[in-house]
Structure 1
Amino acid sequence: MDRLFIQAKPIIERLKAAGYEAYYVGGAVRDYILKREIDDVDIATSATPLEIKSVFSNTVDVGIEHGTILVIHERRGYEVTTFRAETNYVDYRRPESVTFIRSLKDDLRRRDFTINAIAMDEEGVMIDPFNGREAIKKKCIKTVGSPTERFGEDALRLMRAVRFVSQLGFKLDNRTEEALIQQAPLLQYIAIERIFLEMEKLLKGKHVKRALKIARKAKLNDYWPSIFNQEQTIEQIINMPIEGLDLMELWLLALYLEKAKEPQKQLKKWKMPTKDMKTLLRALTFLNWRKDNNWTNIQLYRAGKEIAVMVEKIVCVLHHEKPQAITVKIYEKFAEFPITERSQLAITGTDVLEWTRKTPGPWISQLFTQLEEEILNKKIPNEREMIRRWVEKWGNPSSDKCSKH
């Protein structure tokens, strides 16, 4: 049994000793069967939230209204959730009410896909009332019960279906795929933030092409806010050797292919984190330059390793070349540079002001820009005394002579 299950075993044992049922459930059980790496373990129990809290002294009410209590055991947190039934879904996304129940089978019945509706006890015995293991064996994604009902309850399951295709390489069973196509319009009722999280997981999957094909067939992309919502963009990506690209590189490729006049607005529509948006916009600037130019030392330095690697991998893909060797070449190039960022310079702005006795101004930025170029081109070494002499030769920064540099 996986070490994470073993670490969580005392929680199940204590719940059972108190007279309650308790099982490992969800994605951890599925991934254990598939021999995939397990990130965390969830536990389902017949105990109510208050009963869970009475068994354990160290708990946090992370989702008590939905039956979830975080149990702290040996400095680790485990989500323990009461068996529950959900009724009267509203807005195609959330249940109007949650009822705590004592039946494991009924708890598993409310889950999305049969591969996720398997429980396991502390000894590794599987409880599989909906034949999830058979679906795993057949590499098939199938809803628990009616796919029309499951997607109608929570339309985000439309995205989860194609996300699992990408992650697992499974196919959709016929009824599930038919319902996916019919109910794609329900995705319009789901918050972009929730769609974005599923999209990121989809793009990280090893079988992203297969997932994008199904999404395009079902026209899920019609309800994505931008970038990947263009059928032409998806078609181009599917026909490119994208297997070596990571998440951010796939976003960059799609952003480039869309050729949007205002790329920042397109990224904002996805409610993407600001840090990621800034990285992509900066990378796009260098990619637009790189498509018509070869790298120079200065441009590589300005881009930085992360951006340079992203850009070069996209250039390879655009030329239908596999980008595996590119990363190594760029890292080797950066290893030859005397400096890879401004903070590595042997002097600071304070030094320059002290040596020149001038008032701070735009000239300092100009001086440092030229200084970086001189060092990168190995015209002067990155040594304090040598740089001081170079600064003195620079002359009077406020003069016309200096502004020409």
Structure 2
Amino acid sequence: MKLTQLPDEFVQALPVLHAIIQAGFEAYFVGGSVRDALLGKKIHDVDIATSAYPEEIKQIFRRTVDTGIQHGTVTVLQQDDAYEVTTFRTESTYQDFRRPDQVTFVRSLREDLKRRDFTINALALQHDGTIIDLFDGLTDLDNKLIRAVGDPNERFHEDALRMMRAVRFESQLAFTIEPATALAIQTQHQLLSKIAIERIHDEFVKLMLGQARRNGLISFIETELYSQCPGLAQAQAALKIIAELPATPLVNEQDVWLLITHQLNLSIEATKSFLRQWKSANELIQAVSLSLPILQQFLAHSPLTNWNYYETGSANILAANRIAHLYGAGEAEAVLQSAYQQLPIKRRSELAVNGGDLLQALGLKPGPQLGQLLAELEKAVVAATLPNQKKALIAAAEKLSHI
């Protein structure tokens, strides 16, 4: 097979390929970029594989960075672009089920491609558009199948994260995992416990954001991968419910974890603990914690107050609304955005008075009373029961200070 027209991303990288070939070595585009080009999808990173050893690459190009030279990867800098160029290699045993104990550089493309995870990722593209397919990856692309290269048990024993990559690709590409590969995942699923949770986290989020979320989730459940993930060992029923919800795409990572924590029926404190187990960023934990009560209000068809909008923030309100829609609840997004925009203030700094104003006007001393007064004024302004005007706020504060 031959691509008659190379995508722009490959065209821009052709000078790198040509330079390596002119130096007497082989060089190909490989991996996910080739797969995505064949599927007509957006190409992200363009990776290059070569028979040249790292030191030979560094002699060919003037500007390089040793990004992973011990594993054969050198980044070549070309004008404003950077391309990872990796030497063909074979790998030894994988004692930690993730990284090889030893990498051996080779001159053979076949030896390099046969160590890759799935046939659809083991395709190579020549500079003239010719596809090199040594493991029937093109057939699997046509049949929308995810198949391990060679023995799937060996591939997953080498790198247990590949099992999560399989269910993630199933969701992202709307493909199906072929039976022998699926059986191997189920057989080897306990190896996932050897993988850093940060890596599992990334794959799981990508699965949940995929176009065929249900496909990936069902395989995630049936292969028992879920049982090796923090807080999900007893969550089979909850995950099945999520899989059967409408296929409306989730927008971002916040949506993913809001949906999961809601379906697990977690309290806010339990949500924070759960997300910390998944090594989530503090900002994400805060966002999900703010959204969760609002989601529950939407599902209970309980109207939101001005304080709900103010305290939660527009983005978190909209996230809760998106998840509510999956359950047949929620509001029109435009209605929520309008309500937020009509708030008298959107943060305390917009209050027409501050602590210094109250100290001066009322003769108060710094202390808890001052903070309580400001909080009362803030709530009254947000509720639109008090105008955000300095004179009115000081008068209200004076009354409150005598209560």
Q: Give the TM-score taking structure 1 as reference length.
A: 0.90
Residue 91 of structure 1 aligns to which amino acid in structure 2? D
Question: Of residues 287, 310, 316 in structure 1, which corresponds to 2:319?
Answer: 310
Residue 390 of structure 1 aligns to which amino acid in structure 2? A
In structure 2, the residue matched to 1:199 is 204
| CA RMSD after TM alignment | 2.2
In structure 1, the residue matched to 2:345 is 339
Take 2:233 and 2:338, find their aligned partners in 1: how far apart are those partners?
34
8 A contact 2:209–2:250 mirrored in 1: no
Residue 281 of structure 2 aligns to which amino acid in structure 1? P
Take 1:7 and 1:296, find their aligned partners in 2: how far apart are those partners?
53
Residue 55, structure 1, aligned to residue 64, structure 2: no
Residue 391, structure 1, aligned to residue 358, structure 2: no
8 A contact 1:162–1:214 mirrored in 2: yes
Question: Of residues 275, 300, 304 in structure 1, which corresponds to 2:283?
Answer: 275
Take 1:220 and 1:103, find their aligned partners in 2: how far apart are those partners?
34
Take 2:256 and 2:161, find their aligned partners in 1: how far apart are those partners?
22
Trace 1:317-356 onto structure 2 (pairs within 5 A): 317-318=326-327, 320-321=328-329, 326-356=332-362
Take 2:19 and 2:203, find their aligned partners in 1: how far apart are those partners?
35
Residue 248 of structure 1 aligns to which amino acid in structure 2? Q
In structure 1, the residue matched to 2:3 is none
Take 1:332 and 1:395, find their aligned partners in 2: how far apart are those partners?
30
Residue 367 of structure 2 aligns to which amino acid in structure 1? G
Take 1:298 and 1:78, find their aligned partners in 2: how far apart are those partners?
50
Trace 1:1-400 onto structure 2 (pairs within 5 A): 1-227=6-232, 230-241=235-246, 243-246=248-251, 247-260=253-266, 262-288=270-296, 291-292=299-300, 293-318=302-327, 320-321=328-329, 326-379=332-385, 381-382=387-388, 387-396=389-398, 399-400=401-402
Take 2:42 and 2:371, find their aligned partners in 1: how far apart are those partners?
49
Take 1:346 and 1:80, find their aligned partners in 2: how far apart are those partners?
59
Give the deviation of 1:289 after TM superposition. 5.1
Give the deviation of 1:354 after TM superposition. 4.3
Length, aligned pairs only: 394
Take 2:374 and 2:112, find their aligned partners in 1: how far apart are those partners?
64
> Which stretch of structure 1 is more off in the superposition, 41-50 or 182-191?
182-191
Secondary structure in 1 matching 2:344: coil
Take 2:128 and 2:357, find their aligned partners in 1: how far apart are those partners?
68
Secondary structure in 1 matching 2:346: coil
Give the deviation of 1:80 after TM superposition. 0.9
Give the deviation of 1:244 after TM superposition. 4.1
Take 1:140 and 1:91, find their aligned partners in 2: how far apart are those partners?
28
Secondary structure in 1 matching 2:94: strand
Residue 337 of structure 1 aligns to which amino acid in structure 2? L
Give the deviation of 1:349 after TM superposition. 4.0
Residue 19 of structure 1 aligns to which amino acid in structure 2? G
8 A contact 2:208–2:256 mirrored in 1: yes
1:379-398 per-position Cα deviation (integer Å, ceiling 9, x unaligned): 5554xxxx220132124488
Take 1:124 and 1:357, find their aligned partners in 2: how far apart are those partners?
80
8 A contact 1:309–1:326 mirrored in 2: no
8 A contact 2:209–2:256 mirrored in 1: no
Change (3 A) 1:144 1:49: same
Secondary structure in 2 matching 1:95: coil
Give the deviation of 1:290 after TM superposition. 5.1
Take 2:361 and 2:43, find their aligned partners in 1: how far apart are those partners?
58
8 A contact 1:298–1:376 mirrored in 2: yes
1:230-288 per-position Cα deviation (integer Å, ceiling 9, x unaligned): 10111111222252433322211211221235222222211112221121122224434
Take 1:197 and 1:395, find their aligned partners in 2: how far apart are those partners?
50
8 A contact 1:227–1:254 mirrored in 2: no
8 A contact 1:84–1:100 mirrored in 2: yes
Report the identity percentage: 38
1:43-70 per-position Cα deviation (integer Å, ceiling 9, x unaligned): 1111111111111222111111000111
1:154-199 per-position Cα deviation (integer Å, ceiling 9, x unaligned): 1111111000001000001121112122221221222212211211
8 A contact 1:115–1:132 mirrored in 2: yes
Take 1:249 and 1:50, find their aligned partners in 2: how far apart are those partners?
46
Residue 305 of structure 1 aligns to which amino acid in structure 2? S
Give the deviation of 1:352 after TM superposition. 4.1
